[in-house]
Structure 1
Amino acid sequence: MIPRHPPLQDGWIDAPHRGAALGRFPLESGEAIDDLRLSYVVHGDLDDKSKPVVLGLCAIGSTHHRLDFLIGAGRALDPARYTTIVVDALGNGLSSSPSNSATQPGERFPRFTIRDMVRSQKRLLEQLGVASLHAVAGASMGGMQALQWGVSYPDAMSRIVALVPMAKTAPWSQALNETARLALRAGGAGSSAEVDWTAWVAVTHILAMRSPTRFAADVTLDGMHDWLARRTAWWRRQQADPLDWIYQSWAYDAHDVGTTSGFGGDTARALAAIRARTLIAVPRLDLYNPVEAGIWAAQHIADCQLVQLPSQDGHLAASEADPETAGRIDREIGVFLA
């Protein structure tokens, strides 16, 4: 199947899409992806060895555009200073996913973990000839992958940037994901009928992504019902596959850096093994990844800078949603990477 790229949005960078065929890929579960393929983009020139390389990672349900608000001239990930490789995570519909696998389509696709995502990215970098990284950066599930990079490959990078992350998925986050999965199943996911995304959008785009303050501001002009209808119509146009999101949410739920081999389930000990300088940023309130989880992770990493953003936007704080907060994040990361 041909991967479907969502329509280009304002602020996204239309970089050439690249793909790497990486062959059979064993998973933590003991199963394997028959023909692993990773989608990625490069901002800068991989052949220019004078510039340090940054690896950018995706959030749940997102693509390589997730960190575009940090990329560009004068921004934290300026291509004049860094070569940034942004990889599409397993299950996002562009890299290997239930929706695009030729040999393991749909629910025949094996379940994967966040560590599987990280190992697949490591294999890609090896194929590209990238031996070391200046930084690994991501937001939300991307930040969770970034911390896993620090645990799995402590000498692979000098710095880690993890926005609104968790080192171990909180029960609250698992409950939100399960509610969203139930909404998708009730809306027809897994059947031949067109999926009704309305309830899923209400859970993920309102209850998980926004704070009460941010949502009140968003619906000022047209009210809650009209906003939800417009947002659902917008999401349908993104051409996302519900099963892809479900698979990524299972990986999200199961994540714990402490279950990395050698740590015996001890999350704190795994975080203490991170050697890279680390920046973790959290807002005042996050109704998806609890703020306390990010703060706790920062307290257990030896060399970690915690940035507590004065944002009222909730989980959306780690995005371009509010220009003032996005500018603050960009400046903090720019200084940290330099």
Structure 2
Amino acid sequence: MSHPPLQPGWIDRPHLRMSLGDFPTEMGGFIRDAFLSYVIHGDLQSGRPVVLCPSAIASTHHRLDFLIGKGMALDPSHCTVIAVDALGNGLSVSPSNSQSQPRDQFPFISVRDMVNSQSQLLNLLGVDQVHAVVGASMGGMQALQWAVSEPQRVHHVVAMTPMARTTTWARLMNETSRRVLQAHPGWRDDDPQAWSAWVPLMQMINSRTPDHWDALYQEISDLLNDIDERVKTWQKQQYSVWDWLCQTHAYDAHDVGTTPGHNTTASALTSICAPTLILAPPLDLYNPAESAHWAAQHIQNCKFIEIPSRWGHQSASFADAESVFFLAQHIHAFLWKTSNPT
């Protein structure tokens, strides 16, 4: 996958790439000639606190651009932001771009592999300590995994719409999405039409709420036109079916409780010593909000904030302008110890 066309709100920064050599996966295999794609907002040589932003599923380093900028929660004049592309997203090493292990030859990866690759990236960049790991969706899942895997390195955690262990519901949604894609005869060749049914399932049903759609459309013809436009927009991103399969299988298998040294999800969460902020909307049809609540209850120093939004899983994104302002306020207050927003 080449870099997708810039979308409104995305911040254009130089795209960087770090070679990781032959990267070992926790299943015992290797990703040959592995590399990570990333961007830096700010100056890594400034000595300012470093904030790591992992990407969400089927997303890129632009995922948290809505929090980055002057006066925002992640202000490059106050901190250095490293926004990294997760393994398998089409910009970092993935089934779609691997020369050594293309498509179905690419090894199974896990969310912990994503975190371990990012840890290696920081080592190569000379970053010993991280002021915060901030992520949404699978980025939030990586943020929690960071706090479990490297408790002495991470000083703060912000996880939006996360799960500490992937629920059966989320696995069901991913499995349905895979079957929808693979039902198209051209999926193996990344025929853009393979996404025609995936888009309304994953971007509309899975990522919004019934209230959202009821408020937005009364006429079915208007909704159908919206679906068609969203399909065209997604197809322009040139995302690979193979990468979706890779990342969703990693998503399905995730559980911080299987981190070496832990035997339950609860014990792994209890081990987190970094102050943690978890945010989730009242209803999330992908990563159930109950999972975010449950994780927050098991982390010793954790604050849970409900996002007052009916955008569901997309409440932690550019999609909801009101949420953008809300999240920026609360995350800024948490990370930089300013007075709590009213």
TM-score by length of 1: 0.97
Q: Which residue of 1 aligns with 2:333?
A: 335
Q: Which residue of 2 aligns with 1:292?
A: 290
Q: Which residue of 1 aligns with 2:339?
A: none
- Structure 2 counterpart of 1:314, which letter? G
**Residue-by-residue CA offset, 1:228-254 (whole Å, 9 max, x unaligned):** 111101100011011101100000000
- Structure 1 counterpart of 2:91, which letter? L
- Do the aligned residues in 1 keep the contact of 2:161 with 2:280 (CA within 8 Å)? yes
- Do the aligned residues in 2 keep the contact of 1:144 with 1:162 (CA within 8 Å)? yes
CA RMSD, Structure 1 to Structure 2 (Å): 1.2
**Residue-by-residue CA offset, 1:118-167 (whole Å, 9 max, x unaligned):** 00000000000000000000000000000000000011111000000000
- Do the aligned residues in 2 keep the contact of 1:40 with 1:86 (CA within 8 Å)? yes
Post-superposition offset of 1:25: 0.5
- Do the aligned residues in 2 keep the contact of 1:184 with 1:195 (CA within 8 Å)? no
Q: Distance in 1 between matches of 2:217 and 2:18?
A: 42
Is the counterpart of residue 224 in structure 1 residue 214 in structure 2? no
- After superposition, residues 258-297 of structure 1 pair within 5 angstroms as 258-264=257-263, 266-297=264-295
2:77 to 64, 80, 86: 80
Unmatched 5+ residue regions in structure 2?
337-342
Q: Secondary structure at the match of 1:330?
A: helix
Q: Distance in 1 between matches of 2:238 and 2:302?
A: 38
- Structure 2 counterpart of 1:233, which letter? K
1:104 to 97, 101, 114: 101
Q: Which residue of 2 aligns with 1:137?
A: 134
2:5 to 4, 7, 14: 7
Aligned CA distance change for structure 1 residues 218 and 12 (closer, same or farther; 3 Å): farther
- Do the aligned residues in 2 keep the contact of 1:162 with 1:281 (CA within 8 Å)? yes
Q: Distance in 1 between matches of 2:72 and 2:91?
A: 26
2:212 to 199, 211, 214: 214
Q: Secondary structure at the match of 1:157?
A: coil
Q: Which residue of 2 aligns with 1:46?
A: 44
Post-superposition offset of 1:195: 4.0
Post-superposition offset of 1:37: 0.5
Q: Which residue of 2 aligns with 1:179?
A: 176
Q: Distance in 1 between matches of 2:53 and 2:255?
A: 20
- Do the aligned residues in 2 keep the contact of 1:60 with 1:248 (CA within 8 Å)? yes
- Do the aligned residues in 2 keep the contact of 1:219 with 1:227 (CA within 8 Å)? no
- Structure 1 counterpart of 2:294, which letter? W
Q: Which residue of 2 aligns with 1:245?
A: 244
Q: Which residue of 1 aligns with 2:63?
A: 66
Q: Secondary structure at the match of 1:158?
A: coil
2:307 to 305, 309, 312: 309
Q: Distance in 2 between matches of 1:291 and 1:9?
A: 28
Is the counterpart of residue 116 in structure 1 residue 113 in structure 2? yes
Q: Distance in 1 between matches of 2:13 and 2:217?
A: 33
Q: Which residue of 1 aligns with 2:155?
A: 158
Q: Distance in 2 between matches of 1:240 and 1:158?
A: 34
Q: Which residue of 2 aligns with 1:235?
A: 234
Q: Once the two structures are aligned, what percentage of the paired residues are identical?
A: 52
Q: Distance in 1 between matches of 2:83 and 2:286?
A: 23
Post-superposition offset of 1:180: 0.3
Is the counterpart of residue 22 in structure 1 residue 31 in structure 2? no
Q: Which residue of 1 aligns with 2:316?
A: 318
- Do the aligned residues in 1 keep the contact of 2:55 with 2:139 (CA within 8 Å)? yes
Q: Which residue of 2 aligns with 1:202?
A: 200
Post-superposition offset of 1:287: 0.4
TM-score by length of 2: 0.96
- Do the aligned residues in 1 keep the contact of 2:190 with 2:240 (CA within 8 Å)? no
Number of paired residues? 334
**Residue-by-residue CA offset, 1:16-72 (whole Å, 9 max, x unaligned):** 1000011010101111001110000000001111x1000001110000000000000
Q: Secondary structure at the match of 1:165?
A: coil
